[in-house]
A = this chain, B = another copy of it.
Amino acid sequence: MFHRKLAVIALAALAAAPALALDAEQAEKATETRQSVLEVVGWNMGPLGAMARGLVPYDAEIVARNAQRIAWMSSMIPDAFRADTRPHDVATEALPAIWENYARFEELAANTQASAERLAEVAASGDEAATKQAIGALVDDCRACHNDFRLDD
């Protein structure tokens, strides 16, 4: 069971190389993978947005921890989206523009990573007001990418 799963995933990873076209199963897997990366971003972003707006108590340790995690996840975004699923009928909010302008997509992912790393530093400094501003800057970077590359956002 474990081995079979690994083999499917390994094939999907291979197929993610730009020169190889994906088959339908690989396209589904690639879609699931990139959605999972962003799901983990959202999980860690949620409490930060809620703290910035005063919906939950501010906690600098959680901010620093989650910001670090968001930086890690952002560093995976370019790899996670490299598999071009445009030829396949997958359920996705990823716009074709991603693969039409991958360099720009990578640039926005790098901006998000940098903002998340900056947020982790600011949160560790103990300055709550500056931290909330840095959360806002990170949210802006999320939005900038969603605006151009994600459906309905």
Contact = CB atoms under 8 A, between A and B. Distances in A.
Contact of A55 (B7, B33, B139): B7
Contacts of A3: 49
Interface string A58-98: 00000000000100110010001000000000000000000
Interface in A79-125: 80
B10 A50 contact: yes
A12 interface: yes
Contact of A46 (B13, B76, B143): B13
A1 B69 CA distance: 23
17 contacts: A1-B152, A2-B139, A2-B146, A2-B153, A3-B49, A6-B45, A7-B50, A7-B55, A10-B46, A10-B56, A12-B46, A13-B43, A13-B56, A14-B47, A14-B56, A36-B39, A36-B43
